A and B are shown apart, each in its own frame.
Chain A
Amino acid sequence: MHRFANPAQFNRLADVILPWAIGAMVLLFGAGLYYAFWASPPDYQQGESVRVMYIHVPAAWLAMFTYMVTAAASFTALVWRHPLALLAGKAAAPAGAVFTALALLTGMLWGKPMWGTFWVWDGRLTSVLVLFFLYLGYMALWQAIDDEEKAGRAASILALVGVVNIPIIKFSVDWWSTLHQPASVIRLDGPTIDGSMLTPLLLMAGAYQAYFVVVFLWRMKLEINRRKLSVARQAMMHAPVGAE
């Protein structure tokens, strides 16, 4: 893993992956959206509203996945002092916050016609809202402390404390009998969702995943280059006048 601690090497690797990730993202979004909106049947109960699911469910999956990426990066940063891990957490968190917000908003839009209300305080909704607050806290802590190294490590401690929320989100639908439906894709006895709906769902999940990789690598490169710039600027400021 420390092979990628060299920022230049990471940048090269990112440049190799990025074109493929962008290509996969465009293809998967194209196919996924086509299936989601045209090539899949309406639900026999929900009608056309079922199509919200293809936006909502992958966003919720990625919201949790991104938090685990942030937490893993935080752990790596705190334990092994891996120089790029802090930046990895910083790069991932805003994407995770957006996924969480998207999952909450699309869930609300779907909930109004289906449940008759935008919001209920059930276990799943509440714990995802807490996830959103954790992302905000993580990002706010990065902003609040001037020393970037310290800011990143303080935020990492918070990210690790917040990991307790992830199993709560996952199992909230089983622990509390609530309005939110239980898991129907990742189950021990196989998915209970029909194949005609599983196809667009998985395509969209792949598209979101590719989108995450693209945004993550872009933001990593941005952070690395920003660091390089500030180092170069400091070197210029401290250089003796007329040294050339």
Chain B
Amino acid sequence: MNQSNTPSHASIFTAIVRRDVSLAWSQGGGSLLALGFFLIAVSLFPFGVGPAPQVLARIAPGVIWVVALLAAVISLDRLYQADFEDGSLDDLMVSPLGTLGIVTAKVLAHWLSTTLPLALLAPALAVLVNLPDGAYGTLFISLIIGTPALSLIGSVGAALTVAVRRGGVLMLLLILPLYVPTLIFGVGAVDAVISLTDPMPHLALLGATTLVATVVGLLASAAALKLAME
């Protein structure tokens, strides 16, 4: 028997991640849209609350985090739905990786292609809302730690609503309440630095949130996808 022709689990995994990342960045993919939304929505706030620098500085961490979170959500409705509609999800799920492996690969690809770029862009956008000097590093670190949780929790909502037509708004309703802890600890860390206190407790809790989201999010997403494919 020719064993060498059977692809290993690792190569299937990386193939799926590569495929999803390149799809997300190709024409019609969601990543550029999410980044565009991030840019435009942040720049709306100075018009809404007025351009006073102190006011903007006060709300800057919250604005960046909330808008990053919403940008992540709007890119999520295609996470499984596109593959579900054209049938490729059926093929993926019978692969030797199993549903949990597929979910892990797709969530990792979503993080790499969409939510991680949001974190990379955030310091640049923070200039627009006058984030105080010295808070940029913490904002960046908090987003790096917190954005996996956005992809992981979002994956649960996307998987639960994959078979629902026009499920986007329902997905928002399911996901946004579950994002609250991530948001609280993420903003808390940045606010702590601005008020000259220690951001470490917030960052540690944010990390804990991401770890819980890793376990619960992957298992729940896999269960929800299996249910939808029955």
Partner-B contacts on A (CB < 8 A): 78, 126, 130, 133-134, 136-137, 140-141, 144-145, 150, 153-154, 157-158, 160-162, 164, 168
Contacts and interface: CB of A to CB of B under 8 A. Distances in A.
Given A134-B177, A137-B173, 12 more contacts: A130-B177, A141-B170, A144-B164, A144-B167, A150-B163, A154-B160, A154-B227, A157-B224, A157-B227, A161-B220, A162-B177, A168-B181
Contacts of A150: 163, 227-228, 230
A133 B164 contact: no
Given A133-B176, A164-B212, A154 B224 contact: yes
15 contacts: A126-B180, A130-B177, A130-B180, A133-B177, A137-B177, A141-B160, A144-B167, A144-B170, A150-B228, A150-B230, A153-B227, A157-B224, A158-B156, A158-B160, A161-B220
B160 A157 contact: yes
Main SS of chain B's interface residues?
A: helix
B154 to A, nearest CB: 12
A162 B178 contact: yes
A141 B167 CA distance: 10
Interface string B119-151: 000000000000000000000000000000000
A168 B167 CA distance: 29
A78 B180 CA distance: 26
Contact of B173 (A78, A140, A154, A162): A140
Interface string B151-182: 00000100011011001001001101110110
B40 interface: no
A209 B109 CA distance: 47
Interface of B: 156, 160-161, 163-164, 167, 170, 173-174, 176-178, 180-181, 184, 212, 216, 220, 223-224, 227-228, 230
Given A78-B223, A154-B224, A144 B161 contact: yes
In order of increasing CB-CB distance, the 5 nearest A-B pairs are A133-B177, A137-B174, A130-B177, A144-B164, A154-B160
Contacts of B227: 150, 153-154, 157
A141 B161 CA distance: 8
A137 B216 CA distance: 18
A97 B110 CA distance: 33
Contacts of B170: 137, 140-141, 144
Contacts of A130: 177, 180
A168 B177 CA distance: 13
A55 to B, nearest CB: 25
Nearest to A121: B184
Contacts of A144: 161, 164, 167, 170
Contacts of A137: 170, 173-174, 177
A154 B212 CA distance: 20
B173 A133 contact: yes
B183 to A, nearest CB: 10
A141 B228 CA distance: 13
A123 B182 CA distance: 14
A158 B160 CA distance: 8
A107 B220 CA distance: 33
Nearest to B169: A140
Nearest to B160: A154
Given A150-B227, A154-B227, A160-B220, A141 B212 contact: no
Contacts of B167: 144
A164 B213 CA distance: 10
A144 B162 CA distance: 11
A153 B230 CA distance: 12
B178 A157 contact: no
Contacts of A168: 181
B179 to A, nearest CB: 10
A234 B174 CA distance: 33
Contacts of A134: 177
Contacts of B160: 141, 154, 157-158
B91 to A, nearest CB: 21
Nearest to A153: B227
Contacts of B224: 154, 157
Contacts of B178: 161-162
B156 A161 contact: yes
